[in-house]
Amino acid sequence: MGPDYLAAHPVLASLQGRDFLTLRDFSPEEIQALVDLACELKRLQKEGKPHRLLPGKTLAMLFYKSSTRTRISFEVGIYQLGGHAVVLNANELQLGRGETIEDTARVLSRFVDGLMIRTFAQRDVELLAEYADIPIINGLTDLYHPCQVLADLQTIYERFGALKGLKVTYIGDGNNMAHSLAIGCVKMGMETVICTPPDYKPLPEVIAYVERLAAETGGSIALQDDPLEAAAGAHVLYTDVWVSMGQEEEAARRRAAFAGFQINGETLARADRSAIVLHCLPAHRGEEITDEVMDGPQSAVFDEAENRLHAQKALMAALMR
């Protein structure tokens, strides 16, 4: 597979030069095309076949937050596509001494072919996209985590052969994962349930958008606070940590609030017999998920983690070629 493959694909060809800030900006057809490409790139890798879709391209990776899966998947991914990665820590750049994001975007646009950023504020990602002349990829913010959901959709598609009509239940904090998962799943026509304690619901503006979206795609969104009820009949059970980076001071209060919102054997028993379990990782075993479930036969957690590599490769190949 070479660069001509993408140019000949009408949907993928239209993604060249685009930013990936949130799944809100991508149509169901575009998301499905990226999932299909991720599956194809995974197949080629497993068969040992080259797929140098980005020969000579350079990706800059800018980190304000620590990372395992995001860094490794992008760094290995660009290498397998024939390119090169430059890892940047925000504290090591002039950003740490007061240079603006706007000026940093202008400078990096002269050096590299794409930029992935993992940071706190969504506004930082938006500023980079506004002032850069290269594709900007949101590797994670406090508001959204679209790269993870692209890999999640790939994992679900691999297991079920379709997305539309499946029921996905997320149990946990109404955080960036809940936001992006709701958007991505409803975009793809899925029945989506977000189950959180009453004080930890997703942002109202995100849910309002997803409700409008559901009317267009045939998907649905529901908010619940009973995990066992929410899990009933689900094809996918999904969870995330109760205490994210930057929330350490809230740890005790959060653990008390989320008691009972664990994915365990009882929760899984309420789901569809064919259900899979997903977790974006890292996991706090014994809190939001038990060892029994995470290491059990219905867990797709580590397939999902692997698919970060393939989904990221598809994304870079489509945007940066």
Count CB atoms within 10 A of the CB of residue 274. Answer: 10
Active-site residue, 25 included: no
Active-site residue, 148 included: yes
Cα-to-chain-centroid distance, residue 158:
16
- State the catalytic residue, choosing from 19, 113, 173, 240: 240
Contacts of 135 by beta carbon, 8 Å cutoff, 6+ apart: 17, 18, 19, 20, 113, 114, 115, 319, 320
- State the catalytic residue, choosing from 18, 118, 254, 321: 118
Q: How far apart are CA 159 and CA 12, in angstroms?
A: 23
- State the catalytic residue, choosing from 159, 279, 308, 310: 308
Active-site residue, 199 included: no
Active-site residue, 142 included: no
Pull the structure tokens for residue 52.
């140098």
SS3 of residue 187 by DSSP: helix
Active-site residue, 118 included: yes
Give the residue among 164, 170, 126, 119 at the shortest CA–CA distance from 145: 119
Place of tokens 């299909």: 36
- State the catalytic residue, choosing from 113, 280, 310, 321: 280
Contacts by residues 183-186 (CB-CB < 8 Å, ≥ 24 positions apart): 183/22, 183/23, 183/24, 183/149, 183/209, 183/210, 183/213, 184/23, 184/31, 184/146, 184/149, 184/150, 184/152, 184/153, 185/149, 185/153, 185/219, 186/210, 186/213, 186/214, 186/217, 186/219, 186/220, 186/221
Active-site residue, 195 included: no
- State the catalytic residue, choosing from 148, 154, 262, 312: 148
Rg (CA), the chain: 19
Residues with catalytic roles: 118, 145, 148, 240, 280, 308
